[in-house]
Every structure is written in structure tokens, then in C-alpha cells.
A and B are shown apart, each in its own frame.
Chain A
Amino acid sequence: MAFQLSGSNLGTRENRLGSITGYVGDLEDLASQSKCGTLTGCSRCFSQSSTCLSGCALGQLGGIRDVAIIHHGPAGCSATASSQYIVTNQVAAKRGVVNSSVYIGTDMDENDTIFGSTDALAEIILEVNRRYHPKAIFVSSSCATGIIGEDIDSVVDEVKEAIPVPVIAVHCEGFKSRIWATGFDISDHAVLSGIVEPPRKKQNTINFKNFYESARNEIIEMFQNFDLEPVFLYANATVEELKHLSEAVATTCICGTLGNYLGNGLEEVYGVPYIRTINPLGITGFETWLREIGRVAGKQPQVERYIEEQRNIYIPQIEAVKKELKGLKAVLGMGPGYTFEVTRVLNELGIEVVWALAWHYDKRYENGEIPPAMSYLLENDINFEASVADQQNFEVMNILNKFRPDLYLSRHPGSTVWAIKQGTPAVYVADEYMIFGYKHTLEFAHAILDTIRNRSFEQNLAKRVKLPYTDWWYQQEVGKFLEEAIS
């Protein structure tokens, strides 16, 4: 697709990528329907709460160092200011830097919904600039401002003159997409359109899109072998670093859902290659990814040397723990950037995936291809039952109840507890580097082993609690409430 960086708005994932949130079937069917273009997602006549795209968009932008987020809406929209602040501070402290970013709300009230509040918003933006002198200001809309037609673009244009740093409008109406990952694209769009500058000179950097850079040090060390310097995005990144993203050797990402828009945008607009392999999770993923980076950067011999050296250390250890995992059955529920990657790793470890849920599914990525993690599974004849549900917990519980797996793996807050209440051990795959490379694949295998070796906590709890769903629901098919989407 052609990137339109001149406007502040962009299409949702549903519109741009044909993404869906409702489907029940299996992997092969999902892929073949995607390929021939017949896949249409279903909607639900009953659903449970999921996630707001503004959290993804502004959480990403708010992690950039020394910026201001102004979230124009009622106090609930900006309620994450405090959790954003704590995470920002803790990840900055871990790295030994100071991040002075602020997250400001505007406490919109009923009068504002009638008379508008663009004047107040303009004054708030100017005041935030006076108080904190941020390096960039992101001004976001909300459901309420969106519906009443508050024109934040005009407000931003109006105050821009008086503020010496980029002031960027960000459109975060929560109702416009069921796919919170659209928020990642929104943040990338803001960075691409408002901060990134055309390249002046090529650098030996590699743009590394991630969440909280927990494996920062080891990745820096690894890339030293290939004379590459990673720039981690966006947590702790500086606005100055972002200006130069166009000068990098390549862009890569720990999660395809997270980095797809930025990677494709930088490639299309500035010719920075985007690494489009499967992700560096597990053995095959890590090697495939690293080899592609070696190819793009012209460092193939160094990469091969590194792989050989590391294999010698880790593969025997991974093989040893695999013996103990063989035959386990797992269900997993994650964003699609992880679901189809983690299923591959589980397969590598000898664990059988009996059902995989993806919180959404992108029929194709920005480049028009189906996601590489899917292609890999299909090419290797790995198939399993699968569904797409935006964290619809009742569907997860229905599936867990039917399959009674040895293990449930999930990546989103508040999800693992429901599996353990049903007595299923759960692994919370929280950190994006939890399965990265050989070392973390080994740690991941051990985390699984330790989890299933001691099931006391979940057994203790499961014995004593009642589940909130009716028996009737457990007797229904998982897709009971799916219906044809009305577009």
C-alpha cells in the first residue's frame, strides 16, 4: 500500500489489512481463505470487554523520552497516566536514564460535549509546553471528542507556531477499530509523519521495534559481532534518535503486529529494508531472522560464525529439557504477532498445540503478503484448530474446558488467572523477549517445565472457587455468538 504521511489520520487495520476479530476453524482454512480473499470476519451478538486502541497508541508514544502526551477526553481516557508513569520510570531507571515524559488529561465535562473545548485544549497544549518544555507533543482525540467533531488538527495547527518542537495530532477514537493493534499503527504514523526526517547520511544502526527493551544489553552485545548498533523503539528512545530512523541499515521488530507499520513505512518512504522473516523466537525463528539481517547488512560470514558458536552452547541444553516436555498439550491465546510464532516454538519443543486463539488476525501485512509466521506453519504441515477472538474470555474458557490441556499460554493482563481457576496451569508470556534467541528459548522451556511440575497454586485455587459462567455456556459451541458481520 502507499503510505500517506501528509495527513494525521490513517485507516484501521480492518480497512487497511482486512483484519478480523471473529472466526472459528483451523489454521489451514484461515490461511487458504485469506489467500483466495474469501475470509470475512464475524461480529458477535454477545461480547466481553477487550482493549482500547488508545492505550496501545499512547502507551507507545508516551514511552519516548521527554515528550508530552495530551489526551483530550474525559478523565477515564487518561486514567492510564499513572501506570504509564510508573512503567516509564522503572524502565528508564533500569537502563540508567531519566525519562521526563508527561501524560496529561483534559477532564472534559458535559458542557464541553455541547459547546466544544478547542480553546481550552489550545491553552492546555501551550501550558504543558511552558511547564515541561517537551521534545515533542502528541495531542490525542478520544471517543467523546471524535463524536462531537472536535477538530484537534486545527487546534494543533493553531498552536504549532508558538511551540518550537513537533506538535502532532493523534486520532484515537476507541470505537473506530476493535483491534487495539491499530493503536500501534497510529503511534508509528505519528512518528513517521511528524518526527522522522529524510536521511542525511547512512549509519550502521538497526531500528529495533520492541516494547520495554528488557534484553537491550545482550542484543547490543550480539550486534557488535556484526558491526551493527540497535536503536530500540519506543521506550527510552529520544526524539533525536527517531529523527534519524531513515538512516538505518534495516528495521526489525520483536513482534510483527507491533512493527509492521513502521517497518513498511520506512522501507517504502526511505528505502530502509524491513526484515520480514519469522520472528526471532525459538531456534528456527532466531536463525532465520539473524541470517536475513546478515544478508541485508552484508555480514553473512559473521552471522554464521555467531550461530555456530551459540548453537554449541545452547542446543544441547535445549535438547535435554525437550525430553521432559514431550507430549504436553497446550492451548494459547495471544495477539497474532505472537500466537503463530509461539505455536512454532512449542512445536519445536515437542509440545502439541491443540487450539490457538489470536486476538485478531491480519489477512495480509502492509506489503500484501500473509504474515510469515503463518506461511511457515503451513509450509511445515503444522495445523491445529484455531479461532480469532479479541480476548473473548468466555470463548477461551469454553475451549479450555473442552480440551483440558496441560498448559495455557497467554500474553495479556488478566487472562491467565481464568485458566488456573479452571485448574489449567498457565504461563504468562509477558516479556516480549521471553522466548528470544537460544538463551531465552531455553529459559522458556524451563519456565514451562517448572510450571507443570508444581501445580499446587492452581489446584489449591481451582478447588475453592466457582467459575462465573453458566453450565449452559460450557455446553455451547465456541462460536455460538458469532454472526455475519454487517459492513
Chain B
Amino acid sequence: MAKILDKQRYKCAMSAMQTVQAIERAIPVLHSGPGCAQKLSGSTGSSGYFSPNIYPCTSINERDVVFGGVKKLESTIRHSLEVIDADLYVVLTGCIPEIVGDNTEEVVSGFKEEEKPVIYALTAGFKGNNYKGHEQVIDALTEQYLEPSKIRIKGLVNIWADVPYQDEFWHGNYKELERLVKKLGLTPNIIFGYNRGIENIKKIPAAEFNLLISPWVGLTNMKKMEQKLGIPYLHYPTLPIGAFETSKFLREIGTYAGVPEEKVEAVISEEESSYYYYIERYADLFLETRVMSKQFTVVADAQYALGITKFLVNDLGLFPAKQFVVDDTPREYQEKVRSYFKDLNYIIEAEVSFDTDGFNIHNEIKAHDYHGYPLILGGHWEKEVAKQTNAHFLNVSWPVNERLIMNSYYAGYEGGLKLIEDIYSVAKTRFN
């Protein structure tokens, strides 16, 4: 049912156009009103090989609402193939065609014989938010493009983690996760980002397993791939940030993939040694920055709320106040996600609220006693409540404003150091 969306944290399912945009040389073809792409794309990192104003669009008008828009869709796809040089065309449907009942599947099936693949995903805005839309696109790939592989390549791992663009660190995070998995002697396969694209999509079916790094987004995709392509999956719910979680992450993958223990431990030892070299050098700063207190709150999607909470508790020794998960996590996943926040060092348990109403969240933050300056990591909306509560504020989750992220990242050992840099760059703006 319609509900108040105050300080909005997500967009609609059709924002999955950004998932497509993250695959090099894949282009969304929109069956929607003329302005959806402009509205749903941010202005950061969108002028790649394609950009939102390149996306073909049926630009549905009043006439199409009455008479249907399938003819226009057919001609838009046909001409897209002529005009735009892409490897993959992903038709995304918006609200209008799904309400008026256009048969998109039938139109798209007319392009089966084309040299380039044309697939579709039903992503009407009312079907759910962009986390669900992202899943729709991946499912569409599995259902309509991928076929079971006769061969299985030992050590080939498909990695699924961030929702591109919704997480502005997606470029860097994927790169770092790829680097870490590679160090274990495995062969990572990622479809999003630089120099990957369709060739990597083609490799998906031959993988030994799927690695899903996410509390809940993508689970349906893993199940679908397991069912259709016979690829088992390892679900690692926490985005590893900092040494504690990243080492745990490497051990778990190592065990699952049968990497010799000595090899895993050697990698961990090397990475931790470098990580703690820096931690040691700056530890005095952490202890002696007089404005830093212990309690923190994260307001983010499940991915970041969990990843950052674990890092701040298990690595930096901070203490969790209430954490807010704002991605509209489906009810069926909430208990499981809640349980992840209870698995912290020293049997610390973080209280979690699943809430999409920023007004309530801000009231709860204002009502809590942080016993010092609060540390708030959240969306840009939290800048306001941080000001009201005299908190340190770092914008880590969508919406991200007033900072630019190109290829930096919070994942892994180095990502943890980067997060510390960002937090202390804020804290150091005050003396007392």
C-alpha cells in the first residue's frame, strides 16, 4: 500500500537501467514515458560509452496509453539495432505498458534471430524498488540469455555484490573484491564495470560457483541460477570492510572452494600485516582525537548498515547505537538480516530497525543519548539530523551529495583504511 516516503532512499524498479548501464556495451531500451531515464539516473558516473540520454525510449504518449504501445516498441527496438552499437539490448518496461497490458515478451521474441541479443525485464515502477529491479535484470539474463554449460571451469567464481550506482562505491568495491579473490588463486568473474561486459556474462554458466556478497539482494538470482544453470552458490551476507571481516571472508571462501589453508593464511597474513602497519601508525590519532566518542549509527541499505557496523565494532572498537536499514528489505528476509547484526565481537548485539520513513529515523537519532558526539554514517539526508545533534557525519549511502566518488572503495582491507580516512577527515574539523 502507498506509504509516506519521507527522505527517500531508493528509486523504483526501472532504475535497474543503471544495472544495465554498469555492464559495458549493454544498453537499456525503455518502454516508458519520455522522462524516466533522466529522472532515475544520477548525474555522477553516467556519461560512459552510453548515457541515459542515449537510451532508446518509446516515449509513450496519450495515444499509446489508449491504443497500446507495442508497435512503437517494435520500431524502437528495430532501429536501436541499426543506430546503436551495443552488445546487449535490455528492454525495460515502465509503469504505463504494464498497466495498459502491452505484451512486451511477444515483441521482444520477434528479435530472437537478430545477431545481437535482445532481452527484456518487467520493471514497472510500482513492482518494487531498484533493489528488486536489479534482481529482475539479472534474472532476465539467466532466463533469456544464459544456457547451462557443459563444462565447469575449476576455480571460476562469479561475484555478485553491490547494486551498481545505488552503491556509489560499486566500481572500486568490485575491483577490490576481484583482487582479493584472485589472490586466493581463484578466477573471479564479474559482469559490472571496466573491461568486463558481455564476454564475462558468457562465462557465467561455466563457473564453479556463485559468490553472493549481500545480506539479501541477489538471493533470488542465485537460486534461479542454481536451478537453471546448476551453479551452486556461497552466500556471504556481509560486505567485508577492514581486516576482521575480510580475513573471515577469505577463510570462508577458501574453505568453500577448497583452497589449501596455508595459501589462505599466507594471503591473510600478508594483507593484515600491511593493514596493521597503517593502523599502528595512526592508532594514537584514533585514541586521542578528543571529539571522537564511541557510539555510532548507520542509516543505509542492509549492505552498508551491516558492513559498516561490523567494521566499526570488530575493527575499531566502537559501540553500536541503533542501526537503520532503509532499503525496504522484504519481510521474509528481515529476521535473518537482523540476526547478522547480533553476531559481533564480545557478544555485542546491534539493535536494527527496518524503516523507510526518514522522519521517524531522525526522531529516534535525536532521542538517543550517544554519550558524546554521535557518529552518523548515512545518506545525505542525515546531514541535517547530524547538524541538529552536533554529530560527525559521513555520507556513505544513497543519496550521495556534496562528495565525489569515482573509483575509491570501502571493501576489503584497504577499503577499511579509506573509511577511516573519511571518518577522521570529518572528526578533525573540530578540536573539542
A residues with CB within 8 A of B: 45-55, 72-83, 85-86, 102, 104-113, 117, 120-121, 124, 127-128, 131, 142-144, 147-148, 174-176, 178, 180, 390-391, 393-394, 413-415, 417-418, 465-466, 468-470, 472-473, 481, 486
A107 touching B3 by the CB < 8 A rule? yes
B123-162 vs A: 1/0 string, CB under 8 Å? 0111111100000000000000000000000000000000
A112 touching B126 by the CB < 8 A rule? yes
Q: Give the residue among B47, B50, B60, B100 with the most A Cβ atoms within 10 A.
A: B47
B91-115 vs A: 1/0 string, CB under 8 Å? 0001110011000000000000000
Q: What would be 10 A-B contacts, judged by CB atoms less than 8 Å apart?
A: A47-B58, A51-B38, A52-B33, A52-B39, A73-B125, A76-B130, A79-B11, A102-B6, A111-B1, A468-B84
A105 touching B401 by the CB < 8 A rule? no
A470 touching B34 by the CB < 8 A rule? no
Which stretch (B72-80, B195-203, B287-295) binds chain A? Answer: B72-80
- Partner of A47 from the list B11, B56, B96 (CB cut-off 8 Å) is B56
- Considering the chains assembled together, what is the distance between the CA atoms of A80 and B27 in angstroms? 23
- Chain A residue numbers with a CB within 8 Å of B359 are 131
- Chain B residue numbers with a CB within 8 Å of A117 are 1-2
Nearest-CB residue, chain B, relative to A414: B53
Nearest-CB residue, chain B, relative to A12: B62
B residues with CB within 8 A of A: 1-8, 10-15, 27, 30, 33-40, 42-43, 46-47, 49-65, 72, 75-76, 79-80, 82-86, 94-96, 99-100, 124-130, 356, 359, 379-381, 398-399, 401-402
Contacts beyond the supplied A82-B8, A107-B3, A180-B34: 10 A-B pairs with Cβ under 8 Å? A46-B80, A48-B56, A52-B38, A79-B8, A85-B380, A109-B128, A110-B127, A112-B1, A124-B2, A469-B83
Nearest-CB residue, chain B, relative to A390: B34
- Chain A residue numbers with a CB within 8 Å of B356 are 107
B35 touching A174 by the CB < 8 A rule? yes
B57 touching A147 by the CB < 8 A rule? no
Q: Give the residue among A77, A78, A120, A473 with the most B Cβ atoms within 10 A.
A: A77
A105 touching B38 by the CB < 8 A rule? no
Kindly provide the distance from the CB of B4 to the nearest chain A CB, expressed in whole angstroms.
5
B2 touching A481 by the CB < 8 A rule? no
Nearest-CB residue, chain B, relative to A394: B83
Nearest-CB residue, chain B, relative to A113: B126
7 shortest interchain CB distances as A-B pairs: A52-B35, A76-B12, A74-B125, A105-B5, A46-B79, A82-B399, A49-B37
- Partner of B5 from the list A78, A111, A417, A473 (CB cut-off 8 Å) is A78
A49 touching B34 by the CB < 8 A rule? yes
Nearest-CB residue, chain A, relative to B10: A75
- Considering the chains assembled together, what is the distance between the CA atoms of A144 and B36 in angstroms? 12
- Considering the chains assembled together, what is the distance between the CA atoms of A54 and B50 in angstroms? 24
- Chain A residue numbers with a CB within 8 Å of B76 are 45-47
B36 touching A49 by the CB < 8 A rule? yes
B36 touching A52 by the CB < 8 A rule? yes
B126 touching A143 by the CB < 8 A rule? no
- Partner of A143 from the list B3, B5, B51, B96 (CB cut-off 8 Å) is B96
B5 touching A107 by the CB < 8 A rule? yes
A147 touching B75 by the CB < 8 A rule? no
- Partner of B38 from the list A47, A50, A394, A418 (CB cut-off 8 Å) is A50
- Chain B residue numbers with a CB within 8 Å of A76 are 11-15, 36, 39-40, 125, 130
Kindly provide the distance from the CB of B18 to the nearest chain A CB, expressed in whole angstroms.
11
Kindly provide the distance from the CB of B47 to the nearest chain A CB, expressed in whole angstroms.
4
A106 touching B46 by the CB < 8 A rule? no
- Chain B residue numbers with a CB within 8 Å of A104 are 4-6
Kindly provide the distance from the CB of A167 to the nearest chain B CB, expressed in whole angstroms.
16
- Considering the chains assembled together, what is the distance between the CA atoms of A468 and B43 in angstroms? 19
Kindly provide the distance from the CB of B151 to the nearest chain A CB, expressed in whole angstroms.
32
A50 touching B129 by the CB < 8 A rule? no
- Considering the chains assembled together, what is the distance between the CA atoms of A414 and B2 in angstroms? 32
B51 touching A414 by the CB < 8 A rule? yes
- Considering the chains assembled together, what is the distance between the CA atoms of A175 and B57 in angstroms? 12
- Chain A residue numbers with a CB within 8 Å of B5 are 75, 78, 81, 104-107
- Chain B residue numbers with a CB within 8 Å of A78 are 5, 8
Contacts A74-B95, A417-B47: A109 and B57 contacting too (C-beta < 8 A)? no
- Considering the chains assembled together, what is the distance between the CA atoms of A414 and B63 in angstroms? 29
B39 touching A55 by the CB < 8 A rule? yes
- Chain B residue numbers with a CB within 8 Å of A486 are 63
- Considering the chains assembled together, what is the distance between the CA atoms of A54 and B95 in angstroms? 15
Q: Give the residue among B27, B65, B356 with the most A Cβ atoms within 10 A.
A: B65
B50 touching A77 by the CB < 8 A rule? no
Nearest-CB residue, chain B, relative to A176: B62
Q: Give the residue among B5, B15, B50, B51 with the most A Cβ atoms within 10 A.
A: B5
Contacts A51-B35, A52-B35, A143-B33: A468 and B1 contacting too (C-beta < 8 A)? no
- Partner of B61 from the list A72, A121, A175, A413 (CB cut-off 8 Å) is A175
- Chain B residue numbers with a CB within 8 Å of A176 are 61-62
- Partner of A53 from the list B13, B35, B100 (CB cut-off 8 Å) is B35
B46 touching A414 by the CB < 8 A rule? yes
B12 touching A77 by the CB < 8 A rule? yes
- Chain B residue numbers with a CB within 8 Å of A393 are 53-54
Contacts A50-B59, A76-B39, A77-B12: A109 and B30 contacting too (C-beta < 8 A)? no
- Considering the chains assembled together, what is the distance between the CA atoms of A127 and B2 in angstroms? 13
- Chain A residue numbers with a CB within 8 Å of B1 are 109, 111-112, 117, 120
- Chain A residue numbers with a CB within 8 Å of B13 are 74, 76
Nearest-CB residue, chain A, relative to B99: A147
A414 touching B47 by the CB < 8 A rule? yes
- Chain A residue numbers with a CB within 8 Å of B55 are 48-49
- Chain A residue numbers with a CB within 8 Å of B79 are 45-46, 481
- Considering the chains assembled together, what is the distance between the CA atoms of A45 and B27 in angstroms? 18
- Partner of B8 from the list A50, A105, A108, A124 (CB cut-off 8 Å) is A105
B38 touching A468 by the CB < 8 A rule? no
Nearest-CB residue, chain A, relative to B86: A468
- Chain B residue numbers with a CB within 8 Å of A147 are 65, 95-96, 99-100
Contacts A112-B126, A391-B53, A468-B86: A77 and B39 contacting too (C-beta < 8 A)? yes
Nearest-CB residue, chain A, relative to B25: A468
- Considering the chains assembled together, what is the distance between the CA atoms of A223 and B82 in angstroms? 55
Nearest-CB residue, chain A, relative to B49: A468
B64 touching A175 by the CB < 8 A rule? yes
Kindly provide the distance from the CB of B27 to the nearest chain A CB, expressed in whole angstroms.
8
A106 touching B30 by the CB < 8 A rule? no
- Considering the chains assembled together, what is the distance between the CA atoms of A365 and B59 in angstroms? 25
Contacts A75-B11, A144-B95, A414-B51: A49 and B35 contacting too (C-beta < 8 A)? yes
Q: Give the residue among B15, B38, B130 with the most A Cβ atoms within 10 A.
A: B38
- Considering the chains assembled together, what is the distance between the CA atoms of A234 and B79 in angstroms? 41
